Amino acid sequence: MSAERRLPVRSSMVSVVALRGAGAATQMLVARRVGAYLDGAWSYLAGHVEAGETGWQAALRELREETALEPESFWATSFCEQVYLAATDAIEIVPAFVARVAEGAQVRLNGEHSAFRWVTLGEAAALLPFGSQRELLAHVRREFVEREPSPFLRLAHR
């Protein structure tokens, strides 16, 4: 009888949903990816955790590097995406964070994206390519737009 092989499960990435506005007027930042991975896809921000970083520090760094945005408030979501990555034959667990930014905050993209748009949550759901991303968006809508998020999820970031 042969030993059963197990897929590795890892968590080396984070995602960040940037929001502005409130209630029905809430908008989400989507950016069009450029490069080998998901070229041309609209998505929220994501990236890898670097040595010595916590997950939330990586998420905040990615927000700043990819958009030059500085959040007014920054939150853990208690939601983790799960995705199978064929390139590594592994299951990736991706914790998600929410950044609330000022209405007039200026986005400056780095080379990872070719364009950005502020869109309604309904428009974002239509643009996001993966079901797990739409599930995260539904969670963010429920827990960060339709109600005040739990103060226990707020992260110090300055």
pLDDT computed for residue 39 by the predictor: 78
Position 42 scores a pLDDT of 94
Q: Is residue 2 part of a domain?
A: no
Would 1 be classed as within a structural domain? no
pLDDT at 26: 97
pLDDT at 158: 62
pLDDT for 53 equals: 95
> Which residues on neighbouring strands pair with residue 80, listed in sequence order?
95
**Domain-embedded: residue 16:** yes
Domain assignment of residue 112, yes or no: yes
| Average confidence (pLDDT) per 10 residues, the chain, 158 residues | 83 96 95 85 94 96 96 96 89 96 94 94 94 95 95 85
* Full domain range(s) for residue 125: 9-152
What pLDDT does residue 1 have? 59
Residue 97, classed as helix, strand or coil, is strand
CA-CA distance, 149 to 144, in Å (whole number)? 5
Two structure tokens written together for 52: 């010595």
Report if residue 83 sits inside a domain.
Answer: yes
**Res 88: pLDDT:** 87
Tell me what pLDDT residue 38 has.
Answer: 80
Give the residue from 76, 80, 91, 63 showing the smallest Cα distance to 6.
91
Number of domains in the chain: 1
Of 108, 82, 113, which Cα lies nearest the Cα of 95? 82
Question: What is residue 37's predicted lDDT score, i.e. its pLDDT?
Answer: 76
Q: 54 vs 118, 137, 155, CA distance in Å?
A: 28, 23, 12
What's the CATH number where 51 sits? 3.90.79.10
In a domain, 24, yes or no: yes
What backbone torsions phi and psi does residue 67 show, to the nearest 5 degrees?
-135, -15
